[in-house]
């Protein structure tokens, strides 16, 4: 009798789970971004758009390093770059993927640029008599770009907007120097590192005030901020921990260590954070070398390469190893990074993960089928 009443309830749950999963979940996938067609063998993924649809980076081309844009399975070099730009990388992309920033090395100098629709704008440098600029991050709409420029006193964190460059200054004490690495969605909060009386120290800049973030508890006097949440409240990066580095997540004035992956020497570095600040990616030493990680408060730090196979069923055949995660989309579901493909080739990769609710529904479906077979 128990079986007679149990079956319709289970069947209803099963059908509901299947229908919701099919209606709301996009299938997870893993993409080898590969080399640019007609170029060399290596490529590197540097950033992913906020909507998760566009990846940018660079690849070995002819005659040198070439920036690319990936969308809908198509990897293409950026059009409109000057012919003498032979060592160029794309490092940042707007939320919708239409604006890209990076830097190049023409004529033994370094020049930051903004790219949109095939139009390239060289970003001005601070007054110093030396052209040396680099771009690393941008606001969601691509109007504000952050990076570094060589000024009269030395390297300085800067932002570019409306064709002008603005220096952020530096932290007091120590030699002059710094770099801006990322900014909030509206560009009002900028993070990076600067020289201070404590050494190299991560900073958070807002309303013309550069605030030092300190160092890891029990660690050395050295820290670097690499990314920031959409509202500017969460900062991630890494700091000195003994002879190595440890990834951190900073919020409400507290720099919290994230640990590292098991195996190998202690070393981890956070490179990206989701829009709400809850998911962090980066890379860490693990058994056999560096591996990409993903962190959240519930699970702690986990090896992404292992999760790709065990939890998401990705086919990583042909990959020697995945070594780092470089960026993450706003919703935390699309991640880009770098690995070794074949014996020696460096390759960029992109992974799209299912929503956690979809995983639970799929697990429920499997459990229901198993239980149904037992009765």
Relative to beta strand 111-116, strand 155-161 is unpaired
Q: Identify whether the C-beta of residue 263 lies closer than 8 Å to the C-beta of residue 288.
A: yes
Q: Where are the alpha helices (DSSP H) in 38-185?
A: none
Separation of alpha carbons 320 and 291, rounded Å = 11
The string of pLDDT tens digits covering residues 75-101 is 999 999 998 888 899 999 999 999 999
At 253-266, the pLDDT tens digits run 999 999 999 998 99
Who wins on pLDDT, 358 or 371? 358
User: Which tens digit of pLDDT belongs to each residue from 210-252?
Assistant: 999 999 988 778 999 999 999 999 999 999 988 899 999 999 9
What is this structure's pTM? 0.89
Q: How far apart are CA 356 and CA 154, in angstroms?
A: 47
Residues 48-78: pLDDT tens digits? 999 999 999 999 876 678 999 999 999 999 9
* Burial of 97 (C-beta count, 10 Å sphere; 0-12/13-18/19+): buried
pLDDT confidence of residue 131: 80
Classify residue 108 by its DSSP letter: G
Give percent of the chain with pLDDT exceeding 90: 73
Residue 4 is predicted with a pLDDT of 29
CA 91 to chain centre: 10
Residue 360, pLDDT above cutoff 60 = no
> What is the structure's pLDDT at 366?
39
Q: Domains along the chain?
A: 1-25+356-375 (no CATH), 41-150+163-167 (2.120.10.30)
Between the two ends of the chain, the Cα-to-Cα distance in Å is 12
- Dihedrals φ, ψ of 122, to 5°? -75, 130
Give CA–CA dist 322/306, Å, rounded: 10
Determine which helix (DSSP H) or strand (DSSP E) holds 310, and give its type and residue range.
Answer: helix 304-310
Whole-number Cα distances in Å, 355 to 21, 150, 271, 358: 10, 43, 22, 5
Q: What angle do CA 317, 323, 324 make, to 5 degrees?
A: 120
Mean of the per-residue pLDDT values for the chain? 87
């Amino acid at each position: 009798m128990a079986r007679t009443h149990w079956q319709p309830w289970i069947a209803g749950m099963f059908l509901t789970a299947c229908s919701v999963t099919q209606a709301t979940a996009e299938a997870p996938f893993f993409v080898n971004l590969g080399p640019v067609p007609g170029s060399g063998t290596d490529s590197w993924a540097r950033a992913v758009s906020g909507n998760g649809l566009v990846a940018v980076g660079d690849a070995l081309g002819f005659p040198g390093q070439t920036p690319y844009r990936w969308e809908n399975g198509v990897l293409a070099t950026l059009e409109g770059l000057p012919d003498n730009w032979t060592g160029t990388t794309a490092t940042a992309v707007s939320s919708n993927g239409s604006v890209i920033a990076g830097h190049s090395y023409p004529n033994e100098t370094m020049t930051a640029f903004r790219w949109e629709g095939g139009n390239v704008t060289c970003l001005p440098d601070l007054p110093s008599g030396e052209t040396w600029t680099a771009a690393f991050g941008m606001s969601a709409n691509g109007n504000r770009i952050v990076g570094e420029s060589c000024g009269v006193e030395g390297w300085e964190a800067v932002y570019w907007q409306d064709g002008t460059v603005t220096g952020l200054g530096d932290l007091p004490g120590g030699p002059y120097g710094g770099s801006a690495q990322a900014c909030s969605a509206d560009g009002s909060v900028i993070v990076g590192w600067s020289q201070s009386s404590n050494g190299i120290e991560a900073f958070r800049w807002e309303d013309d005030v550069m605030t030092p973030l300190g160092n890891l508890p029990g660690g050395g006097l050295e820290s670097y901020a690499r990314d920031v949440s959409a509202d500017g409240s969460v900062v991630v990066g890494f700091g000195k921990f003994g002879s190595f580095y440890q990834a951190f997540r900073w919020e409400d004035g507290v720099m919290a260590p994230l640990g590292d992956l098991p195996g190998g020497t202690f070393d981890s570095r956070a490179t990206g954070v989701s829009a709400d600040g809850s998911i962090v990616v980066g890379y860490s030493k693990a058994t056999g070398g560096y591996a990409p990680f993903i962190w959240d408060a519930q699970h702690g730090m986990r090896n992404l390469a292992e999760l790709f196979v065990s939890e998401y069923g990705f086919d990583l055949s042909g990959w020697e190893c995945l070594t780092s995660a470089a960026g993450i989309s706003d919703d935390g579901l699309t991640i880009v990074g770098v690995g070794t493909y074949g014996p020696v080739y460096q390759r960029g990769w992109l992974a799209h993960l299912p929503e956690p609710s979809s995983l639970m529904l799929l697990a429920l479906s499997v459990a229901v089928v198993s239980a149904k077979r037992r009765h």
